[in-house]
Amino acid sequence: MKALVVLDERWNSALTDLGLKVARALSEKCIVSVAAIPGFPAYRIAKEIGFNVLSIEDPRKGLPFKAFFSFKRAVETFKPHVVFTIRGDEMLFGALLKNRYGYRLFRLHGQAKGVRNTFLNRELHRRFVDGVIVSSKRLVNDVIAPLPKIFIPGIVDKETFRFSEEGRKKFREKLNAGNRKLIGVVGRLDPVKGHRLLLKALSLLKRDDFLAVIVGEEKNEKLEDLKNLVKTLGVSEKVLFIPERISPISDFMSACDLAVVPSVGSEVIVRAPLEFMACRTAVVSTNVGALPEVILPPYGTTVPPDEHSLSKAIDKFLSSDLEKLGKIAQEVAYEKFSFKALSPAVCRFICGRV
């Protein structure tokens, strides 16, 4: 069985990450090649993992026929039984060539904007798509509903994300955390990630036994603006920014007593919360996207994206047995969202239908 996984996303996004993980899951039963755009993260990461990588043109740059013919060359070179795509452009190309080359076509739906419910989209899916992996039940509409589907909000690699006692100790010493409880946040500095909401929520806490550590690179939110907000809110002694990548990030996650995901939108693919959970960290989050489908009591909770609800939830968890809740979170991450848990389902759904 041969599966071609087409990753035409430009960024190292949650969509790219989940697409690569589906490719890894399929590789347990299939011969997998990845088609990706040279110079972009999916191409580089797929090479690092060890996949055979085929080059395709960017469908959002220049004339679309160049991208179409590069996709066609990838199909002719690899001769797949299955084609799996993560975006609409390559799904359309896959549909146009499906009957000629005799493969089955599958699609990952995991973008925050959802699937446009148009007549063309409904017909395209009905006539050509053999099944979809959906990252959140909130994405299901008239386009997706009639199709065979499985729900996978995220997959966590437990070989990379696991609790480290040594890493926890070193990172806490590095931060001079002492006996304070560490609140961890991981995500690019972008308005959709809700850092301003988090800072306002922290300013409402009537306690001094915590340090919130925010790890993330500047994107659409300036670090200086967030630092000024910290000063305005009077929480300078309780908040620390680390505006660069940490390696290994699992050491930081192990050091944290509580993770917070304060996003105000998106999050239809769950990545950072599952990574925290795998490192024995309980999670408080907003109830956007797929987060309520993964973060559940007792190891976590989701609340509306307002500072009062978020502050109350953080306060409640900081007063709980976080070590015990973290162990439960890790069990859930491994038993429900690891490769061991989800790879068989992915292989049965895609490879078993050929």
pLDDT digits (tens, 9 = 90+) for 106-123: 999 999 888 899 999 999
**Helix and strand element counts for the chain (H, E):** 14, 13
E-assigned strand segments in 152-305? 181-186, 210-215, 239-242, 258-261, 282-286, 300-303
Angle at 323 between CA 322 and CA 324, to 5 degrees: 90
Phi, psi dihedrals of residue 104, rounded to the nearest 5°: -100, 150
Instruction: List Cβ neighbours of 16 (8 Å cut-off, separation of 6 or more).
Output: 7, 9, 41, 42, 45, 86
Please, what sign has the CA dihedral across residues 233, 238, 244, 249? negative
Lowest mean pLDDT among 24-38, 57-71, 153-167, 299-313: 57-71
In this structure, what token pair is assigned to residue 101?
Answer: 């080359």
Task: Please give the model's pTM, rounded to 2 decimal places.
Answer: 0.94
Query: What does the angle CA 188 – CA 54 – CA 120 come to, to the nearest 5 degrees?
Result: 75
Q: Are 183 and 276 in contact (CB under 8 A)?
A: no
Cα distances from 227 to residues 239, 251, 320, in angstroms, run: 9, 25, 29
Read off the pLDDT of each residue in 32-59 and give the average, rounded to a whole number.
96
Residue 48 has pLDDT above 70, yes or no: yes
2-153+339-353 is classed in which CATH architecture?
3-Layer(aba) Sandwich (3.40)
Strands, E, within the chain: which ranges?
2-7, 31-36, 52-55, 82-85, 104-109, 131-134, 149-151, 181-186, 210-215, 239-242, 258-261, 282-286, 300-303
pLDDT above 60: residue 353: no
Region 182-196: mean pLDDT is 96
Q: For 228-247, what is each residue's pLDDT tens digit?
A: 999 999 999 999 999 988 98
Residue type, 143: V
In angstroms, the Cα distances linking 296 to 69, 101, 277, 282, 312 are: 46, 44, 11, 10, 16
Q: Is 78 left (phi over 0), alpha (psi -120 to 50) or beta?
A: alpha
Same fold, 2-153+339-353 and 165-336: yes
Q: Assess if CATH 3.40.50.2000 describes domain 165-336.
A: yes
Domain extents in the chain = 2-153+339-353, 165-336
pLDDT band at 333 (very low <50, low <70, confident <90, very high): very high
Residue 354 predicted with pLDDT over 80: no
Buried b (16+ CB within 10 A) or exposed e, 80-119: bbbbbbbbbbbbbbbbebbeeeebbbbbbbbbbebbeeee
Query: Over the stretch 258-294, which tens digit does the pLDDT of each residue have?
Result: 999 999 998 999 999 999 999 999 999 999 999 999 9
pLDDT of residue 182: 98
Q: Do the beta carbons of residue 140 and residue 269 sit within 8 Å?
A: no
Q: Residue 222: exposed, middle, or buried by beta-carbon count in 10 A (0-12, 13-18, 19+)?
A: exposed
237's tokens? 């002694």
Q: Report pLDDT for 64.
A: 84
Task: Over range 162-172, report the average pLDDT.
Answer: 96
